[in-house]
Structures are given as C-alpha cells and as structure tokens.
Copies of this chain bind each other. A is one copy, B any other.
C-alpha cells in the first residue's frame, strides 16, 4: 500500500510526470507478454538515473513495498507481472548506449536500450553481439540480462550471460555496487555478475551493464533441410554436433508450425513436409562453405528429402524472420497460446520430440513444436482457449508431463524463458527441495524484506500454471 505520505516521498525523488498512479497508467503495466497473468501495481515510476533508483528502493525497503523492474515486458514467464502490487520501475529515461569501446571490444549500456538498436550500433563498427532473442526488436538489454535471454545464435555463441562482463547494481538496501569490468578475467570474490544475469529482478536492480563484443564474422550462409520424418530431423541435429560442427543456428520447425508461419509470412516455406531444419553457419568463407557442405551431407544421410541453400541475404533474412515470427503466427490461431521451453541434452532431442507428440495425442491437444534444436531447447506451443476450463486442465497436465520428461532426459524446465510465476510450480522437478532451499537462502541474503519482484521463481502453494486466481 502506498499511502499519501509514501507517495510524497517518491515524488520528492522523481518529477511528477515520472510518477503515475492513475488507473490507466497502472493498467498498462499490470501484465506482460505472458497470457493470463495480470495484477495491478500501485504506481509506475520512471527514474532518470541510478541515484534516483537508490533512493526509491530505500523507501520500498523501508515500507516493504514490492518493486518490479521492467523493460519491454516481452518475457514469457510472467516475470514482470506485478503479482503483489507495489511499484513497476520503468527504464524509459535510462536507454542510452554510453560507449562502444573498439579497443577492448565492449559496449556500455543503460538497461532501457532496445536490443536490436544496440546490435545495429555495434555492427556499424563491424562488432558483433550474438544474443538475438526473437523479441529483440522491442526487448530491452536490461530485460535480456535479467532473464538471461537466448536466441537463434545461441548454439555457437552462447546466451546473454556469456556476454555480460560488468554490472552496476542497486541492492535492496540502496547500496550501489559495481561488479566485474572490461576484463577478460576477474576472480576478485564471488561472481556477482553472472549471478545477477538471469536472476529475474529478484535480487536487485541492474542500472548499467558492460557487454563483451566479438569481431563480426566475415560471412554467413543459410540453408533449409526438409524432412518427412520428425525424428530424422532431430537425429540430424545430434549427428551434426557429434561430427564436431557447431553451426551458428540449428532451428527446428514441425509441419503445423510451418503451415501457420507460411500463412503469416508468405515467403514460400514448404508446408508439405513434416519438419525443417533452418541451419546457418558464419565465419571465414572457406570454413562456412566446407561446414555447409558437410552438414548438407549429414542431413541427406539422415533422410532429408532436400537441402536448399538460400541464394541471397534477402532470402536468408526472410527465413530467419519467419522463424522469429513463429510465436506471433501461432498466436493467431486460437485465443490463447502457451509457449514453453523445456530443454534437453542435444542427444535427446529425437526422444523429446517423440514424447511431446505422444503427450499431445494422449491429451488430445494441438501442440506445435519449434525451437533451438541445436541447444536442445524446444518450444512446444499449445494453441488453446483459457475459457475452455476442461481443455485447460488437460493443457496443464500435458505440460507437467513434458517438463517431467525433459528432466528425466537430463534436461530442464526452462532453457531461456526463465521461471517467473509460470514455471515456479515446477522448479522442484529440476532442483529438488535442497536446491530450492539454497536459492531461497540466497534470495533472503540479498533481499531480506522480499521487496524485489516478489512471487517470482519460488512457488507459493498453487500448482496451476495457466489460470491464476486473484
């Protein structure tokens, strides 16, 4: 509850136009990209700088007011839904690229920078920031860091965590700390930098980041391998890696996904095949050509019915864009789209794809599957309707089985979307009670009053995944 007195304290810190407790203003930030989670914040604050954030958080800590840092809200785990009310903190005034350092190959950013804007800025200097979540056109770097976002280039280049080398953080007590540096190596104490990456705004507020860049690869090639057999496609993925080729991108789309994506994007994707692999390699020209040739051979040996290399960068970009639009395309089919990201070791992809299809059949559900096959990171996606309670019950049971299966195969309940509220009821499958207890102790150490994005990561009592009672 924000009383008049507390509001006055906040308004002493930020200008009046940056404190909004109007109903409309709060409604806009009552939800994020995750279906079916909504909760009204008490106020929305847009600070101008780190010092203001430090003052704001001190008040929150003093009065035990929840605070939810939020970028563009594109996450899919209800990670920025203000579940317990309180403050939603916006970074619209903290959205500058502060420096591109060509000697140390780093970029320094404020959290509100749009991912793609930053990627474009560094590419102008022939530098490369690999993490490319599908939402990168609107997502912010701050959001990417808090969720440890992945993307299509993760197989070869890793995820957001692999590129964050320094952070400025405001802790719940108002302390401002600096972690890491423009350093290839730093072992001065615990690695707070990597700990905060993927901490979902539950430990403190990231107010600045230094990201590692790498030289821009010389060239890139793209191809599609078409299959009439899902498992053959999945086997091709394992075989490519086992043959010691690490392509930049190795994406999988099944036929239902292909059909809706083609319907949406109209770029001439094949819709008469059971699955495709979208494969990309980058690097020096000779290496790329050699790898593409070898991968095409492996796919054919694994019963790909055809392998087509994109003939232009435009065609390649169309294919990538089509893949990135899979969620948007599927979302058109039915009122509710539940996109998950169960992840398994690469060697288990074929088994996981089979299991997903069996589970979909068992519960009579429409589950399309696409995703980052090279990472073992699949996105089984169910198109459904939350108003159909009977079906939603089946959806819940099906996803619980999918998570259970992923963990059985040595996998995890979430590869890149985060836990948030959505996966919290399943976290014990991966971590066990002892693992959760260790993480809760850490949370308690940083945030004893539980003001930082409360209700996320750690489940309360509910096991319901889709519909949350208010």
State A377–B427 Cα separation when bound (angstroms): 39
Q: Which residues of B contact A446 (CB under 8 A)?
A: 438, 441-442
Q: What's the nearest-Cβ distance from chain B to residue A57, in Å?
A: 13
Closest chain B residue to A346 by CB distance? Answer: B104
Q: Which residues of B contact A377 (CB under 8 A)?
A: 184-185
Query: A335 in the interface, Cβ–Cβ < 8 Å?
Result: no
Closest chain B residue to A434 by CB distance? Answer: B175
Q: Using A191-B195, A215-B245, A242-B103 as known contacts, say yes or no to A181 and B347 having CB atoms under 8 A apart.
A: no
**Which of B183, B290, B346 has a CB less than 8 Å from the CB of A184?**
B346
Is the Cβ of A187 less than 8 Å from the Cβ of B415?
A: yes
Is the Cβ of A427 less than 8 Å from the Cβ of B345?
A: no
Closest chain B residue to A103 by CB distance? Answer: B347
**Which of B171, B347, B445 has a CB less than 8 Å from the CB of A445?**
B445
Q: Mark A189-209, 1 if CB is under 8 A from B, else 0.
A: 111101101110001000000
State A132–B154 Cα separation when bound (angstroms): 25
**Which of B147, B159, B242, B432 has a CB less than 8 Å from the CB of A178?**
B432
Which of A9-17, A45-53, A417-425 lies at the binding interface? A417-425
State A377–B184 Cα separation when bound (angstroms): 8
Query: A469 in the interface, Cβ–Cβ < 8 Å?
Result: no
Q: Mark A229-251, 1 if CB is under 8 A from B, else 0.
A: 00000000010011011100000
Query: From residue 77 to 129 of chain A, which have CB atoms closer than 8 A to chain B?
Result: 101-105, 126-127
**Which of B127, B189, B195, B438 has a CB less than 8 Å from the CB of A171?**
B438
Q: Which residues of B contact A270 (CB under 8 A)?
A: none
Query: A188 in the interface, Cβ–Cβ < 8 Å?
Result: yes
Query: A375 in the interface, Cβ–Cβ < 8 Å?
Result: yes
Is the Cβ of A439 less than 8 Å from the Cβ of B192?
A: yes
Q: Mark A399-413, 1 if CB is under 8 A from B, else 0.
A: 000000000001111
Q: Using A435-B189, A446-B438 as known contacts, say yes or no to A154 and B184 having CB atoms under 8 A apart.
A: yes
Is the Cβ of B159 less than 8 Å from the Cβ of A375?
A: no
Q: Which residues of B contact A186 (CB under 8 A)?
A: 343, 412, 414-415
State A194–B161 Cα separation when bound (angstroms): 10
Q: Mark A131-162, 1 if CB is under 8 A from B, else 0.
A: 00000000000000001101000110011011
Q: What's the nearest-Cβ distance from chain B to residue A105, in Å?
A: 6
Is the Cβ of A187 less than 8 Å from the Cβ of B418?
A: yes
Q: Using A418-B187, A457-B189 as known contacts, say yes or no to A444 and B445 having CB atoms under 8 A apart.
A: yes
Q: Using A242-B102, A346-B104 as known contacts, say yes or no to A187 and B148 having CB atoms under 8 A apart.
A: yes
Is the Cβ of B181 less than 8 Å from the Cβ of A190?
A: no
Q: Which residues of B contact A216 (CB under 8 A)?
A: 244
Is the Cβ of A188 less than 8 Å from the Cβ of B413?
A: yes
Query: A305 in the interface, Cβ–Cβ < 8 Å?
Result: no
A-B contact pairs, 27 of them (CB 8 A): A103-B238, A104-B241, A148-B187, A150-B185, A154-B185, A161-B191, A171-B434, A176-B434, A182-B346, A182-B347, A183-B345, A183-B411, A183-B412, A186-B414, A187-B416, A188-B414, A188-B419, A189-B430, A189-B439, A189-B457, A190-B203, A191-B195, A215-B244, A284-B284, A286-B287, A438-B446, A445-B445
